[in-house]
A = this chain, B = another copy of it.
Amino acid sequence: MTSQGALASPAAAPAGAPAVSPAELRIYGLGGLPEVRPGDDLGALIGDAIAASGLGLEATDVLVVTHKIVSKAEGRLVELAGVEPSVLAERVAREAGKDARQIEVVLREARRISRMERGIIIAETSHGFVCANAGVDASNVAEGVVCLLPVDPDASAARLRAVLGARFGLDPAGAPGAPGTAPGVIVSDSFGRAWRNGIVNVAIGVAGMAPLADYRGQHDAAGYELRASVLAVADELASAAELVTHKLEARPVALVRGYVPPTDLPPGTARDLVMDPTRDLYR
């Protein structure tokens, strides 16, 4: 492993330096955005935050944007006062001690209910994501309002990429990572997992980058073909971003600098991260 890896290392080590110089990735949490409101030009606000940070924007960067500000800008907010709960929503809310109107919004956002127990609703969204409450969330929005996932988070990511590319002189149509190309954009949310405690940030929208790294057909140093090795790098980037954006902070955008895609796949979308129902053993 060592010798092949060293040969594959992009940076040749100067004499006296470590045999393998450390690879380095930096993640910046960008602040300074105002409270985002429906109709706001989110790309312009994020562009302002990048400009204020002094970091600029590079072709090999990846921007990770918390979906909450995307949803707010796109007006994906529901006033509970105007929601008439269904019979099922009333029953679930009563048993769980929750707001029936909020449960009703969850049911409306669901394409399919995967599990419904003890007030927990794990639902499949219109996008195919399986997550708690179909992505409906009451945090970081005004009292009496809940926030939905963007209608098409991939399109949201692509729009932000186009706006930011234009502002910083980077071409969304260029070859990914090549000089002058607009960087990858990820829209993220925090999802629970089967089997493990705690939620983690994942990618729900992707533009301008490959969400998966596919090692299949490649060989390790021992000659073993890596058959089961498809890495969900967009999810890993989203998780990495959460380490600087956090829940209560004023940093809804992270700029990842220095990420080198490990395999050479064309750009894709977050749909590539959704497991085909026929392959999913845990629907």
Contacts and interface: CB of A to CB of B under 8 A. Distances in A.
Contact of A31 (B5, B30, B226, B233): B5
Interface residues of A, number: 98
A232 B191 CA distance: 10
11 contacts: A18-B32, A22-B55, A25-B243, A139-B222, A193-B193, A196-B275, A198-B235, A200-B236, A221-B248, A231-B247, A233-B243
Given A22-B28, A226-B248, 11 more contacts: A20-B30, A23-B244, A26-B26, A132-B228, A143-B222, A193-B193, A197-B274, A198-B211, A218-B247, A220-B247, A239-B240
A239 B186 CA distance: 16
Looking at A120, A218, A249, A275, the one whose CB has the most chain B CB atoms below 10 A away is A249
Interface in A182-217: 190, 193-202, 211-212, 215
A198 B224 contact: no
B31 A18 contact: yes
B243 A5 contact: no
A19 interface: yes
Secondary structure type dominating chain A contacts: loop
B195 A280 contact: yes
Report the copy number of this chain in the oligomer: 2
A220 B250 contact: no
Interface of A: 1-6, 8-9, 18-35, 49, 52-55, 115, 117, 120, 122, 129-130, 132, 138-143, 190, 193-202, 211-212, 215, 218, 220-224, 226, 228-233, 235-237, 239-240, 242-244, 246-252, 255-256, 259, 262, 272-275, 280-283
Contacts of A248: 1, 4-5, 8, 215, 218, 220-221, 226, 262
Nearest to A242: B236
A212 B143 CA distance: 27
B196 A202 contact: yes
